[in-house]
Homo-oligomer: A and B are copies of this chain.
């Protein structure tokens, strides 16, 4: 199960057993950069498979999740999603009511974020050969009209190397912003599934973030973005450190966390920074623009708790140092996997 959990074990598996078999081709943002989307001939392109269990959970369902997750992967590149695809695989005998509810949720989420579902496919497999249903979505996007101005603003402060908000584009001094509380999605799923009872107070954050991201890009100065899904915030920050060849210093007490998530994580002995999110974006920006970006994000209902959590620093080894509330320092390791399976 760790081969699908979003951490280091998955990345090694994908590099060794999947990408190694594919022909190497040069394009603007290639497959082996492991960014959220590829960029081919100026089209941003991404794909996701969704296996969340159960299909319905507090705050969302596999339908809203599949639309939001894919919209977010295009948006964090600095692009506007212009179309979604959905491939639906159904287990024979699944109630049509369930199909209707999930597809209605997909349609509603697509409508809310103004990205049409334009193509798709439906398959049915025999009863017992699949756990109810799977949805694979993909999306295409165009460069955001705010992206050039956004990067021009960043360029007033330092050299910017990438045309897109890619993982390798963070530099020492950049501020790191998170758009809200982390850990909600994974903990809501785990609690609901296992009957821990935290789900009355913790809901999944599943939401399309194209609107939030547009708010940020309009301010300007953003150089990298990523939605911290499988592997959580710890994975995102460590990926940036490795790909951008930097270190990071993050203030633990500045990371937004819901009280319910704190309680649940303490009880279960898991780190909320390793838990997958589905409605949060992590932003790296030139420091002079950070306050203005946070202010604008807080004006959006999906990012009211946006906060600067730390800064990129020069470092011989790519690593994230967490400054703890009591004044200590510890290294935030990249997770080997997400501790909670099948949350997306």
Contact = CB atoms under 8 A, between A and B. Distances in A.
A43 B82 CA distance: 10
Contacts of A104: 21
B138 A49 contact: no
Contacts of A49: 87-89, 121-123, 134, 136
Interface in A24-77: 25, 27, 30-31, 37-38, 40-41, 43, 45-51, 53
Contacts of A125: 4, 51, 53, 131, 342
A72 to B, nearest CB: 13
B120 A47 contact: yes
Contact of A122 (B18, B85, B89): B18
Interface stretch (A92-100, A146-154, A262-270, A303-311): A92-100
Contact of A119 (B1, B31, B106, B121): B31
Interface stretch (A109-117, A314-322, A325-333): A109-117
Interface residues of A, number: 69
Contacts of A342: 125-126
B111 A23 contact: yes
Nearest to A103: B21
A58 to B, nearest CB: 21
A289 interface: no
A269 to B, nearest CB: 22
Contact of A140 (B17, B18, B45, B86): B45
A145 to B, nearest CB: 13
Contacts of A13: 122
B118 A82 contact: no
Contacts of A117: 22-23, 31
A303 to B, nearest CB: 24
5 closest Cβ pairs, A-B complex: A4-B124, A136-B136, A47-B85, A49-B87, A25-B116
Interface of A: 1, 3-5, 10, 13-14, 17-18, 21-23, 25, 27, 30-31, 37-38, 40-41, 43, 45-51, 53, 82-83, 85-90, 92, 96, 99-100, 103-104, 106-107, 110-111, 116-126, 129-131, 134, 136, 138, 140, 142, 341-342, 344
Given A31-B116, A45-B119, A87-B138, 19 more contacts: A1-B126, A3-B90, A4-B122, A18-B103, A21-B104, A22-B116, A23-B107, A23-B116, A41-B83, A46-B85, A47-B136, A49-B122, A49-B134, A50-B123, A119-B138, A123-B344, A129-B130, A129-B131, A138-B138
